Structures are given as C-alpha cells and as structure tokens.
Homo-oligomer: A and B are copies of this chain.
Amino acid sequence: MAKRKAAILGSSGMIGQRFAHMLDRHPYFDVVAYCASDRSEGKRLGELWRLSDIELDPRLGKEVIQATNPNALVKEGVEVVFSGLPSEVAGPIEDDCAEHGMGVFSNAASHRMEPDTPILLPEVNPEHLAALEVQKKRRKKHGFVCTNANCSVTGLALGLKPLVDAYGFTDVNVATYQALSGAGHPGVPSLDILGNVLPYIKNEEEKMTVEGKKILGAYQKGRFVDSPVTIQACCARVHVRDGHLEAVFIAGDDIPDREDIEKTLAGFKARPQKLHLPSAPERPIIVMEQPNRPQPKLDSYAGTPARARGMAVSIGRIRAERNCLRFYLLSHNTIRGGAGGSVLNAELAYKEGII
C-alpha cells in the first residue's frame, strides 16, 4: 500500500513533537507539513524542541513550521492529520480538516464524547473504528475525526481490558500519581510542586469515569453502549517528568489468585499485535515481578520493538485477596497516553482500509 501524506497540528507543543518523532521515517505515513500557530511560523522544529528525553535527529530539527491552514494542506495532498492541539482550540480546526476530507487523529478532548466519534484504543476497542464510517457520511470528502483517550485512562483501560473480559470486574478505584508533562509547557509552576503533591487535576477524574465507560463499552447498531465498568478516581500531580503511575483497586466477590491474574495480563494480545502494527508493542502489558516496580523513572519507556517504545503498560505489585485485587500500573502519558495513541490509531485505520 502507498504511504499517506500526513500533517501534524500543534508542532510547537509537547504532543506535536512526540508526533514528529514517532512519525519520522514511518512506514505508512509521510509527514509533509509541520503546522503550528502563526507565532511559530517559519521557525525550525529544532529551535522549539521541548522533549528532553529525545535526541532530536538534526534532519528532523531542520523542518520548518508552517501556519495551520487546512486549504493549504489539501493542496499539498495531505490525507491524514495528527492533532496535538490544545483542547481549547482543537475543536473547530479539526472539524475544518475533516470537512476538507482529511482523516484527523486527535489527542484533544474536544470531540471525544461525541456520539459518532470513537475514542479508539486498538487493543481494547478496535471495533469502534466502524463509527468512523458513520461519521464520514456526515462530512464532506470522506474526512473524519478519531480521538485517543485522556492520558490517565488510556493505560488503565488497557490494563483492565483482559481482566474485565476474563473475570467480569466492574468496580474500580484508582489513585493517580501523574507526571508534569501531562500539563504541557509552561504547565505547573515549579514553586507549586517542589516538595509537594497537588491533589487536583481539573476534569481529570470525571474524564476517567466517562471516557472509561465509552472505551471499554461496545459499538452496536451504530451507537456506543457504555461499559458497566465504573472507574472512581482520585487524581494528583507529582514531581515526575513523564509517566503516569496509578494505584488500582478492583473489588470482586471471588478474585482469582495472583498467578492467574498475572497470566491473564502477561498473555494479553489483541488486534494491533495480530496485524503487526509498527507502533504496537509485542506485549502490550508487561508484568513486573520485582517488589518495587514499576517506577516512572525506570519503566515509562517499556515496549518493544523500537517504534513501540513507551507504548506498553507496566503492571507490578499485584496483590490478590478474596475481595480486592490491587496493583500499580504505569504508562507513558505523552506516548501511549498521547501522541503514540493516535499514531497507533492511524496505523490501525490504515491497515483496516479506513484511510
């Protein structure tokens, strides 16, 4: 299959730059336009680079940022758009792109809860892709918007999927230890977080509940049906750069033993693994045996092969008691829970012939 020409929106921000890095030399997509606001127009990607964990390829660093103009993108032959725009501005721009016939894969929250827009998570709900056909009918020239989930619920939903399928769990409590990169840049002032924890992230807990029900739910007869799983969250920001850690409690009447749980988690594979999508981790869930893992500093980048770095979820400290299953879960908030999520979504759409 031919490569698709692609554009990145929000290239001056952290998510946009993750897209730039993850899509560099990608087998399915060819990024021909790095877009941002007029303020950054004409600057080179290298001048604005914000990702201290990545050594920017000098060639990529030389790419010039252009203004965000859907018309111009169409003329350049762009078919696929990756949006790292902030949710405050993403809505109309993404709609505009879709109306111009482009397939938009978005990290923004703007469209997530719309009735014809999937929150796609390929290991969890690949069948939600079907919603895009419905949505395309409404748009001009076959465009659409496909979203990835909020960064906190992404890793959790992935970790819950095999457990929910195997044991029918529905009652989940989660307390998060979220990284600073989740708030973007400038984000959290240093004076607020030095030696501190901030036990509040606006709308985050609500998103975890609502998006969780949609992601883990079904798509039947042209509409989304909520999952019975209820996620109750307490969300806090901690002094960590990347990687959301989560303490998960699952209530149940007759929790299986630890070995059983571990086997279910470690053996989990789904559609992206079957299709060998380039950014799909061989093992989407990595079970850690060490007593003090996973740790954000050590384990956020889990995932092989190289393109799937940061795309796996790590789970450790599994403690199974009769009525309560507990574990710690970690996922990279701006890779699996951000740009990488939408890259994987686009890969799935490409392989399934949607784009």
Residues of A within 8 A of B (CB): 50, 52, 55, 171, 173, 175, 177, 180-181, 185-200, 205, 232, 234, 236, 238-241, 245, 247-249, 251, 291-298, 301, 316-317, 319, 321, 324, 326, 328
A314 shortest CB reach to chain B, Å: 11
A292 touches B200 (CB 8 A): yes
A231 shortest CB reach to chain B, Å: 10
Q: How far is the CA of A186 from the CA of B236 in the complex (A)?
A: 19
Enumerate 29 A-B pairs (CB-CB under 8 Å) in ascending A order: A52-B297, A52-B298, A55-B301, A173-B324, A175-B247, A175-B249, A177-B236, A181-B191, A185-B189, A186-B191, A187-B190, A189-B189, A189-B190, A194-B239, A194-B297, A195-B195, A195-B241, A196-B297, A197-B238, A198-B292, A199-B245, A199-B293, A199-B317, A199-B328, A200-B291, A234-B248, A238-B238, A238-B239, A239-B240
Q: Which residues of B contact A173 (CB under 8 A)?
A: 173, 249, 324, 326
Q: How far is the CA of A101 from the CA of B51 in the complex (A)?
A: 48
Q: Which residues of B contact A296 (CB under 8 A)?
A: 195-197
A188 touches B187 (CB 8 A): no
Closest Cβ neighbor of A302 among chain B residues: B55
Seed contacts A177-B238, A239-B240; 12 additional CB < 8 Å A-B pairs: A173-B324, A186-B192, A189-B190, A190-B192, A190-B193, A191-B241, A197-B245, A197-B296, A199-B245, A205-B319, A234-B326, A236-B245
Given contacts A188-B190, A301-B55, A326-B232, whether A295 and B196 have CB atoms under 8 Å apart is yes
The 8 closest A-B CB pairs, nearest first, are A175-B175, A234-B247, A175-B247, A186-B189, A200-B292, A196-B297, A173-B249, A239-B239
Closest Cβ neighbor of A58 among chain B residues: B304
Q: How far is the CA of A19 from the CA of B205 in the complex (A)?
A: 39
Q: Which of B181, B234, B293, B298 contacts A249 (CB 8 A)?
A: B234
Q: Which residues of B contact A198 (CB under 8 A)?
A: 292, 295
Given contacts A199-B316, A234-B247, A251-B251, whether A180 and B190 have CB atoms under 8 Å apart is yes
Closest Cβ neighbor of A326 among chain B residues: B234
Q: How far is the CA of A50 from the CA of B191 in the complex (A)?
A: 9
A187 shortest CB reach to chain B, Å: 6
Q: How far is the CA of A249 from the CA of B205 in the complex (A)?
A: 13
Q: How far is the CA of A177 from the CA of B187 in the complex (A)?
A: 21
A195 touches B197 (CB 8 A): no
A187 touches B189 (CB 8 A): yes
Q: Which of B187, B191, B197 contacts A295 (CB 8 A)?
A: B197
Q: Which residues of B contact A301 (CB under 8 A)?
A: 55
Q: How far is the CA of A241 from the CA of B191 in the complex (A)?
A: 7
Q: Which residues of B contact A319 (CB under 8 A)?
A: 205
Q: Which of B171, B189, B236, B247 contacts A199 (CB 8 A)?
A: B247
Given contacts A199-B328, A292-B198, A328-B199, whether A236 and B247 have CB atoms under 8 Å apart is yes
Q: How far is the CA of A328 from the CA of B199 in the complex (A)?
A: 7
B194 touches A177 (CB 8 A): no
Q: Which residues of B contact A297 (CB under 8 A)?
A: 52, 194-196
Q: Which of B50, B189, B200, B316 contacts A317 (CB 8 A)?
A: B200
